[in-house]
Amino acid sequence: MTLVRDKHIAFDGIGKRFADGTQALDGVTFNVRRGAFCVLLGPSGSGKSTLLRAVNGLTSPSQGEVRIDGQPITAQSLPSVRRRVSMIHQHFGLVDRASVAENMIGGALAAIPTWRALSGLYPLPFKRKACDLLATVGLEPDHLRRPAGALSGGQRQRVGIARALMLDPEIIIADEPVASLDPKVSRDTLNLLRQAAQARGVTVLCSLHQVDLALEFADQIVALRQGRIVHDGPPAALSGSAVARFYDASLQPMESRA
């Protein structure tokens, strides 16, 4: 019993072949513990995004299945899965022209009746929650009315994190959440995400391509290369290993290090 509950997300032999014949994932099997901060590490094209998107059904794997609390993700279970799993995006996934307030309500749409969503008569608890969460991620009240596009990259991703918390998710999947941010803001953003998740007991599955950030923030690192797992374990097991050297070497030109 505890064993099953411990495996919050289970990837079981996930394979994905796209229509053009690209094998994006091949036999990916690993488990993520409840409340863990699991980093998917790998260069571009290693299959991180595809794997993440299998968790909330944005892509469906060609082989294997993803289970949340032992329940496989199917077309029937997808609506309830999407209510419990929220997502943070590389390009923030915000509507730049809409206000921060509207974007925040966007995070609770699954729980708001359609007529209320369309008429703008959002339930009060959600409006209050939007304000509270924005305060938690360190934004100011006057940000509410501003269009999301007017915020800085770091602020936008804070809105992205706050939005992901609107429905008290069990799981947050973050697809390269800091890829379009500078190194300092990246670190702050990941800190915020980690703290917010820990405070609420949320399991985070986060893809990154920076080894140093993965080592710093992860409880568990799953390293992918060309759709296969090359490492699965705590950060300590990765540091100093050949895998870390491989990633560091391969990523050296992309990093903005002196």
Partner 1 sequence: MTSAVSSSVPRAQKTWTYPPLIRPQTLLIALALLGFLLATGRDVEMGRMVRMTGEAIWATAGGKVDSQVARGLGRIGPSLFPLQMSERQEISRIEGFDRSHLPWLSHLEVVETPIQVLNPDTLRMESRPERVEYLVKPLGYLGHVAVKLWETLEIALWGTVLAILLSAPLAFFSAANLTPSRIAYVAARGTVSFLRAIPELVSALFLVLAYGFGPIAGVLALALHAAGFLGKFYAEDIENADPKPQEALVAIGANRLKVLRFAILPQVLPQYIAYTLYVLDRNFRMATVIGLVGAGGIGQELKGRFDMYNYHHVGTILAGIFLAVFVIDQFAARLRRRFL
Kindly list the residues in this chain that would bind partner 1 in the complex (CB under 8 A). Answer: 56, 58, 79, 82-83, 85-87, 89, 91, 93-98, 102, 105-107, 109-110, 112, 114, 117-118, 164, 167
- Smallest distance from the beta carbon of 247 to partner 1, in angstroms? 27
When the beta carbons of 114 and 252 are compared against partner 1, the nearer one is 114
Residues 6+ apart with CB under 8 A from 53: 59, 175
- Smallest distance from the beta carbon of 160 to partner 1, in angstroms? 8
- Smallest distance from the beta carbon of 133 to partner 1, in angstroms? 14
Strands (E), the chain: 7-17, 23-33, 37-41, 63-68, 71-72, 85-88, 171-175, 203-208, 220-225, 228-233
Residues 6+ apart with CB under 8 A from 103: 94, 95, 148, 159, 163
> Measured between alpha carbons, how far is 233 from 218 in angstroms, rounded to an integer?
10
- Sheet hosting strand 23-33, strand order edge to edge: 23-33, 7-17, 63-68, 71-72
When the beta carbons of 163 and 231 are compared against partner 1, the nearer one is 163
When the beta carbons of 95 and 254 are compared against partner 1, the nearer one is 95
> Measured between alpha carbons, how far is 165 from 197 in angstroms, rounded to an integer?
9
- Smallest distance from the beta carbon of 117 to partner 1, in angstroms? 5
- Smallest distance from the beta carbon of 108 to partner 1, in angstroms? 8
> Measured between alpha carbons, how far is 51 from 96 in angstroms, rounded to an integer?
27
Which helix (DSSP H) or strand (DSSP E) does residue 242 occupy?
helix 242-251
When the beta carbons of 50 and 56 are compared against partner 1, the nearer one is 56
Query: What 8-state DSSP symbol labels residue 127?
Result: H
When the beta carbons of 97 and 200 are compared against partner 1, the nearer one is 97
Handedness of CA 58, 78, 66, 173 (dihedral sign): positive
When the beta carbons of 123 and 233 are compared against partner 1, the nearer one is 123
Beta strands at 171-175 and 228-233: parallel, antiparallel or unpaired: unpaired
Residues 6+ apart with CB under 8 A from 198: 35, 37
- Smallest distance from the beta carbon of 53 to partner 1, in angstroms? 8
- Smallest distance from the beta carbon of 98 to partner 1, in angstroms? 4
When the beta carbons of 33 and 83 are compared against partner 1, the nearer one is 83
